Amino acid sequence: MDEKQVALLIGARIRRARVAHSMTLSALARRANLSEAFLSRVERGEAQSSIANLVQICSILGLGLQDLLSESSRPERTDRSVYRAAETGQHVELASTGYRWHRVAGGAPRDRMEVFHLVFPRKNRMSVMVSHPGQEHCYVLSGEIVFHVGEERHHLRAGDSIFITSDQPHRAENAGADEAHVLMTVAKPEHEPAALDWWRMPSPKTEPSRRPQGPRSTKEEAS
C-alpha cells in the first residue's frame, strides 16, 4: 500500500473503533489531547498522525498499533488460534526508545489477554514508570533485566519471571551487556481498553511539543 492507502486504512479503523465505543469525535479528540479538526482529517485519511498520537488513540480505543496497520481483520474475541513461528510477524520498533516488540497471541477487541515478545536494546532509553488496570507476567527468555515495581528492583535472568498487579508503577530495563528477550503476558479487566504499557510508551524526549489552546495543551499534529 502507498502512503495514501495507509492513511485511509488507519483513519477508517480509528473511526470504526470510535463508533463501536459510542464515542464522539470531540470526546476522542479531548481524551487524546488533539484538535477535533485534525482528528477528523485523520479519520478521513487526509492527514498523517505521529506515532505518539496513534499510541494514545489506540490506548483510548482498546487497540494495538498493529490493529491499525494489519491488512487482515480479526474477530471481536479469539475463539482459538495457533501461532506459528514463521507467521507471528515482524517486530514493531519504537525509534524513540529502541525497544522492539510484536504480539504473539491475543489482542482482539474483547480478548482479556495479550502475549508479547519484547526485545530490549543494549542501551536503554526508557525510564517512564506506568500503572494501569490489570495484571502482567514477565518471563525472561534470554539476557538479564531489572524489573522496577514502585521502589523495588528485581534482577531477573533467563528462566526467571515476575507477576504483578499492574496498578503499581512499573517498568523494566536491560541489565546485561547484550539484548534481552522477554515474553510478556498482559491481562486487562473486562471493559477496559488495552494497556498502554511501558515498552509502547513514546520517549518523553521525542514526544511532539505542545502549544497552549485555551485551558489545555494540544499535541503537535504533524508526524
Predicted pLDDT of residue 161: 97
* Same domain for 196 and 172: yes
Question: Number of H helices and number of E strands within the chain?
Answer: 5, 11
Residue with cell 478521513: 44
Asked whether 110 and 191 are in contact (CB, 8 A), the reply is no
- Is residue 54 helix, strand or coil? helix
- Is residue 56 helix, strand or coil? helix
Predicted pLDDT of residue 73: 53
Range of the domain at 58: 3-71
* Same domain for 91 and 36: no
Predicted pLDDT of residue 220: 36
Interacting residues of 22 by C-beta distance below 8 A, sequence separation 6+: none
Predicted pLDDT of residue 6: 80
| Helix, strand, coil fractions of the chain, as percent rounded to 5 | 25, 30, 45
Residue 47 lies in a domain: yes
Q: Residue 78, CB half-sphere, CA atoms under 13 Å: how many? A: 14
* Same domain for 116 and 23: no
Asked whether 197 and 132 are in contact (CB, 8 A), the reply is yes
Predicted pLDDT of residue 193: 58
Q: Provide the domain count of the chain.
A: 2
Residue with cell 527468555: 141
In 3D space, the residue among 120, 99, 119, 133 whose CA is nearest the CA of residue 202 turns out to be 99
CATH code of the domain covering residue 20: 1.10.260.40
Predicted pLDDT of residue 71: 55
Predicted pLDDT of residue 138: 95
In angstroms, the CA 116 to CA 78 distance is: 16
- DSSP code for 143: S
Predicted pLDDT of residue 21: 79
Q: List per-block mean pLDDT (blocks of 10 residues) for the chain, which spans 223 residues.
A: 77 86 88 92 88 82 73 63 62 60 76 87 77 91 95 96 93 92 87 61 42 35 37
